Chain A
Amino acid sequence: MDTRISPNASFHTDAVKLTLLQSSGAVPLEAIPVLDYADFYDLLVERLANPECHCLTYYGFPWRNEIRCLACIADDTHHTVEVYAYALPKSDNLRLEAISEKIPAMHIFERELAENFGIDFFGHPWLKPVRLAWNRSDLSQTLRNYPFYAIDSESLHEVGVGPIHAGVIEPGHFRFICNGEEILHLEIQLGYQHRGVEHLFVQHKKLTQRTVLAESIAGDTAVGHTWAFAQVMEALMHLQPDETTELNRTLALELERMAIHTGDMSALFVDVAYQLGSAVLGVLRTPLINFFQQWCGNRFAKGLVRVGYSPYPLQPALAEQLDKMLIAYKARYLQMMEHALSLPSVQARFEKNGEVSLAQMQTIGAVGMAARMAGLARDIRISHPFGNFRQSPIATHLKEGGDVWARAHLRHDEILTSMQYLRDHLPKLQPAVQNIPTSYPALPAEHFALALTEGWRGEICHCAVTDQHGEIAHYKVKDPSMHNWLALALACRNLDISDFPVNNKSFNLSYCGFDL
């Protein structure tokens, strides 16, 4: 179990065969035992009752004459991923007992399965379409007739916002039920960004196409998503990228985290009308993303991660420039932030605003920042280390308040920690050359592969299944926003509606990463 790519033979425990992977790996599909749904149900309920376990992804795909469903469960204590499967016949009349009844965090995955395959999960509290995908099973479900929750009362009113919002941001619809200014309930309806990403991973046959596609899943998380894609391919191809490549990717991931967090802090100050803080942090983001421009030509690090190699290995001279830039950044950043966070006008808008509890985040299965800001320790860099985090761990931070203040402070801490990690590792870079592979090995037939990374929003999970010819038969992407949008809806309960924007920014979840 100590090699990363070769995974992990299966073993028996309590008469149930488990397939175990680490932060990435590939196994023959037949090595994943197909359980009866009743056993699958019992096993998942048992495993997910353990707070150290959570569901990374749970999805279905057409396989021969059936629908094969896979659930990948992360075990943080043992640093493993367990894979469970069951099969369903293709039929119009599929009924299964919902796991969500016992494990509410599974709600979003069961909704997605219901949308894609028409499975009726009985006992599910809220079996609504997730993104109205082009290939959904029931085309009569549309954005127009989405069944919003409603309360029949003369003293309440509804506020609908979107899909197009006031600013330059992605589309989505927010439906508030309010009592005067107070939000009683917020329902978030997404799907406007649906581009058919998972289908395109199959339709596009060239590796360059698939890589560019991975960069475009969420353009603000190009490193996080492309690295997950690269790991899936490398696991299938049995490629082990060299240490330089792993270090380059790790540093890029942390620089991406810093850049986006800095931009998000700027956005938070906009929403509490602190113009100077917003302007200064907007300015401070510029050298960070301009460094990506120097490193790989693109301000969003598109092009930096490629399967099997590093097309732009960071050279010591450039690394030194980055170090100098970070020193200059740090002085300006701290000067601004120490002042901004001490201002009563900022504190008053951040503190106790949009609180969620640890128990709530545990219940909904929050990941990444949305988990850590409420005290829930979920960080793939720690629990399932990948890249350079295996040799050289990074510190993770936990906050307790679960409010905008906690989300702002978590960003602040993560910016400083990522910067320190970068500065500690930049001197280790040696002069390096591009090791472009002349060709790539064919993908093995009928394999399943999985890879995890921790992007700035949280855990990213990519899965692929190959067919009998070694072509990609199905590709599955899970952005952390899949778990976390519900956290925003919970945070907004009983707030004044004017506090919604700053809460929305404080989560900054992905629309396109969710809609795919």
Chain B
Amino acid sequence: MIAEYKILRKHGWQFIPDVFAVTLPESYQQGRPIITELAVANEILQKAIENCPTGALSGQADALQIDLGACVFCGECQRICGSDKIKFTNDYQIATNAREGLVVRQGQHPPIRLQPDKIRKEIRSYFGGSLKLRQISAAGDNSAEWELNACSNPNFDMGRFGIEFLASPRHCDGIVITGPISQNMAEATQICYDAVPNPKIVVLAGTDAISGGIFAGSPALDRSFLDKYPIDLYVPGNPPHPLAFICGILDLMRSRKK
């Protein structure tokens, strides 16, 4: 008992007080990218586009863009073009509810936020106070799953906001999919979704889930589930950062306090 009290004292408070106001280290290069207007030789841009593993970087010299729904955050384009041209920042708030909101364009640097008019009305009225989620790993590589688990640890402590992952879909308000959805998980994904009572939300966590990521085009996938239902939140990342996930879910549930 005394030993455990000492351990508790040594660790003290661990939770992050304000999940919207964390400053990640500068070296964190998995956040919102910035593409500047700096002129860069065309062959360098072409090399960057050519080397992009998922085709997330595209466009012409005066109109480059990065689709965060496809980006695997490997940093190859930043390495080739230089960080004066393309810079992945430490802004971890990159979740949004509009697929096109994940496209970052040259010279435009607005923060990535949810589009309030696109949030289905029932979400905030039903789930504004608490949200219980069923996670489905549909061929996820286990890094996104680790990060979603981390959301509930004493550091990120998502439970304090009334957000929890539960075991039974019957007790849940929606599903969170990780992974590119293999053929072999397609049926289980559907069954699990069907078992969640209405109304329900669908969240895609991680680049693999949003676009297939590096697995896009694999003959072993079956992504037809995603064509059937509206997607309420996209959380990019390889894997998604716990803060990106928590901030995105909170913005979906309620407006930020001013």
Closest to A281 in B: B153
Write out the residue numbers on chain B whose beta carbons fall within 8 Å of the beta carbon of A417. Answer: none
> Are A195 and B221 in contact, CB atoms less than 8 angstroms apart?
yes
- Report B216-253 CB contacts with A as 1/0, cut-off 8 Å: 01111100000000000000001101000000000000
- Contact partner of A294 (CB less than 8 A), chosen from B27, B155, B165, B217, is B27
A225-266 contacts to B (CB < 8 Å): 263
> Are B7 and A200 in contact, CB atoms less than 8 angstroms apart?
no
> Are A208 and B74 in contact, CB atoms less than 8 angstroms apart?
yes
Closest to A284 in B: B11
> Are A132 and B184 in contact, CB atoms less than 8 angstroms apart?
yes
Given contacts A164-B136, A302-B143, A510-B142, contact A195 B25 (CB under 8 A): no
Complex-state Cα separation, A169 to B150, whole angstroms? 12
> Are B79 and A195 in contact, CB atoms less than 8 angstroms apart?
no
> Are B220 and A212 in contact, CB atoms less than 8 angstroms apart?
no
Q: Is A344 an interface residue (CB 8 A)?
A: no
Complex-state Cα separation, A153 to B215, whole angstroms? 45
Write out the residue numbers on chain B whose beta carbons fall within 8 Å of the beta carbon of A192. Answer: 139, 182, 184-185, 188
Q: Is B173 an interface residue (CB 8 A)?
A: no
> Are B220 and A196 in contact, CB atoms less than 8 angstroms apart?
yes
The 6 closest A-B pairs by CB, nearest first: A219-B143, A297-B29, A196-B220, A219-B141, A166-B167, A134-B220
Q: Is B146 an interface residue (CB 8 A)?
A: yes
> Are A293 and B184 in contact, CB atoms less than 8 angstroms apart?
no
- Report A193-237 CB contacts with B as 1/0, cut-off 8 Å: 111100110011010110111001111101000000000000000
Q: Is A469 an interface residue (CB 8 A)?
A: no
A124-182 contacts to B (CB < 8 Å): 132-135, 143, 163-164, 166-171
Complex-state Cα separation, A295 to B75, whole angstroms? 13
Write out the residue numbers on chain A whose beta carbons fall within 8 Å of the beta carbon of B188. Answer: 163-164, 171, 192
> Are A298 and B221 in contact, CB atoms less than 8 angstroms apart?
no
> Are B74 and A219 in contact, CB atoms less than 8 angstroms apart?
no
Complex-state Cα separation, A276 to B138, whole angstroms? 31
> Are A199 and B154 in contact, CB atoms less than 8 angstroms apart?
no
B5-36 contacts to A (CB < 8 Å): 6-8, 10-11, 14, 24-25, 27-30
CB distance from B243 to the nearest CB of A (A): 11
> Are A217 and B141 in contact, CB atoms less than 8 angstroms apart?
yes
> Are A332 and B11 in contact, CB atoms less than 8 angstroms apart?
yes
CB distance from A241 to the nearest CB of B (A): 17
CB distance from B52 to the nearest CB of A (A): 7
Given contacts A168-B145, A195-B218, A216-B214, contact A280 B7 (CB under 8 A): yes
Number of interface residues of B (CB under 8 A): 68
CB distance from A198 to the nearest CB of B (A): 10
Write out the residue numbers on chain A whose beta carbons fall within 8 Å of the beta carbon of B28. Answer: 293-294, 297
Q: Is B144 an interface residue (CB 8 A)?
A: yes
- Contact partner of B184 (CB less than 8 A), chosen from A191, A216, A218, A276, is A191
Q: Is B45 an interface residue (CB 8 A)?
A: no
5 contacting pairs across A/B (C-beta < 8 A): A196-B215, A200-B218, A219-B142, A219-B146, A293-B24
CB distance from B79 to the nearest CB of A (A): 7
> Are B53 and A194 in contact, CB atoms less than 8 angstroms apart?
no
> Are A339 and B140 in contact, CB atoms less than 8 angstroms apart?
no
Write out the residue numbers on chain A whose beta carbons fall within 8 Å of the beta carbon of B153. Answer: 279, 282-283, 286
Q: Is A74 an interface residue (CB 8 A)?
A: no
Q: Is B180 an interface residue (CB 8 A)?
A: yes
> Are B182 and A195 in contact, CB atoms less than 8 angstroms apart?
yes
Complex-state Cα separation, A171 to B177, whole angstroms? 12
Complex-state Cα separation, A206 to B67, whole angstroms? 19
> Are A283 and B14 in contact, CB atoms less than 8 angstroms apart?
yes
Kindly list 20 other residue pairs between chains A and B, CB separation below 8 angstroms, not including A194-B184, A200-B215: A133-B220, A164-B188, A164-B192, A168-B145, A171-B188, A193-B140, A204-B53, A204-B214, A211-B74, A212-B54, A216-B215, A218-B141, A220-B141, A276-B7, A295-B27, A297-B73, A299-B147, A302-B72, A512-B139, A512-B141
Complex-state Cα separation, A171 to B138, whole angstroms? 7
- Report B147-171 CB contacts with A as 1/0, cut-off 8 Å: 1111001110000000001010000
